[in-house]
Amino acid sequence: MSDLSAMLVGCGDVGGRLARQLLAKGWAVSGLRRSVQHLPQGVVPIQADLGQLALPAAWPERTPDYLIYCVSANQHDEAGYQAAYVDGLRRVLGWLAEKGQRPRRLLFVSSSSVYAQQDGDWIDESSATEPEGYSGRIMLEAERLALDSGIRASVVRLTGIYGPGREWLLNQVRQGYRVAQDPPLYGNRIHADDAAGLLAFLLQKDARGELLDECYLGVDDDPAPLADVVAWLRDYMGVTQWSDEQRVRRSGNKRCSNARARALGWTPQYPSYKAGYAAILEG
């Protein structure tokens, strides 16, 4: 058993998977959500809305060893992103200060939307971040807020999360959607279990006193062209028809590297889309 504790703010899909992994290792886990009935069994509920001013009544008296901020925007526009990622994080940091609490480390779950590269370039944590859309700009602002919070912090930029319940591409393929082959449009993915696993891995590394970097990319080993992914899925699922009008649409065209996380010792359970999607389709 462990005497370590973690507070997950935004304990949804990835957060819930992380909570279950930490609970299995004996950690004490609390989860802050608006709807706490959806928390995994064993998670101590903190019912709160990040838009509220007052400190949540269920806020723990014990300082959490780790704070993981892994929210999702309720509305996918600029105002929704600002409220979820910047204003929400600022509110939680204010509640910690109000209680005089200082976790060992803050993990902020970000996104590869902070990169704007479009030519199939290889991207790592040191690559230029010059986002053109509001989502990337707001994520960068939130990352800076986390890193400047006065708490030791690391940012984890996840890419293309998929898994059970996140089957958008599978549904597109089933409907026979087409995808451009030339030039190749590279996409980046990580299975939801691996996204949670990377977060758990980083927390355990820090708990053992190992030095963490300020930023990690969360991605599998295989940033493949979308046309290759669609072709493999069509063959695997036995899809033969093509849609006359509908096409798979995606933005971005870059290849993200997980070399930094792998150098630390992390290994994805699903190293490629083939392993990850096969597990979904067989399960």
Whether residue 197 lies inside any domain: the answer is yes
pLDDT in tens, 242-260: 988 777 666 678 999 999 9
What does the pLDDT read at residue 245?
A: 76
What does the pLDDT read at residue 248?
A: 67
Whether residue 177 lies inside any domain: the answer is no
Task: Return the percentage of the chain with pLDDT > 90, whole number.
Answer: 87
Whether residue 193 lies inside any domain: the answer is yes
Task: Print the domain residue range for 103.
Answer: 5-163+189-220+252-270
Whether residue 171 lies inside any domain: the answer is no
What does the pLDDT read at residue 247?
A: 76
Average pLDDT over residues 113-136: 93
Whether residue 53 lies inside any domain: the answer is yes
What does the pLDDT read at residue 181?
A: 76
User: With 70 as the cut, is the pLDDT of residue 1 above it?
Assistant: no
Whether residue 240 lies inside any domain: the answer is no
Which residues neighbour 53 within 8 Å (Cβ) at sequence distance 6 or greater? 91
Structural domain count, the chain: 1
Q: Would you call 127 exposed, middle or buried from its count of C-beta atoms within 10 A (0-12, 13-18, 19+)?
A: middle
Task: Give the Cα separation of 46 and 32 in Å (integer).
Answer: 5
Average pLDDT over residues 58-78: 95
Average pLDDT, the chain: 94
DSSP per residue, 152-197: -EEEEEE-SEEBTTB-HHHHHHHTT-B---SS--B---EEHHHHHH
pLDDT in tens, 87-113: 999 999 999 999 999 999 999 999 999
Whether residue 283 lies inside any domain: the answer is no
What does the pLDDT read at residue 6?
A: 98
User: With 80 as the cut, is the pLDDT of residue 192 above it?
Assistant: yes
DSSP per residue, the chain: ----EEEEES-SHHHHHHHHHHHHTT-EEEEEES-GGGSPTTPEEEE--TT--SPPTT--SSPPSEEEE----SSSSHHHHIIIIIIHHHHHHHHHHHHT---SEEEEEEEGGG----SSEEE-TTS-----SHHHHHHHHHHHHHHTSSS-EEEEEE-SEEBTTB-HHHHHHHTT-B---SS--B---EEHHHHHHHHHHHHHHHHTT----SEEEE--S---BHHHHHHHHHHHHT-----SS-B------EEE--HHHHHTT---SS-SHHHHHHHHHH-
What does the pLDDT read at residue 74?
A: 87
What does the pLDDT read at residue 118?
A: 87
What does the pLDDT read at residue 250?
A: 62
Shortest CA distance to 59 belongs to which of 9, 4, 2? 9
Whether residue 180 lies inside any domain: the answer is no
Q: pTM (2 decimals)?
A: 0.96
CATH of the domain at 116: 3.40.50.720
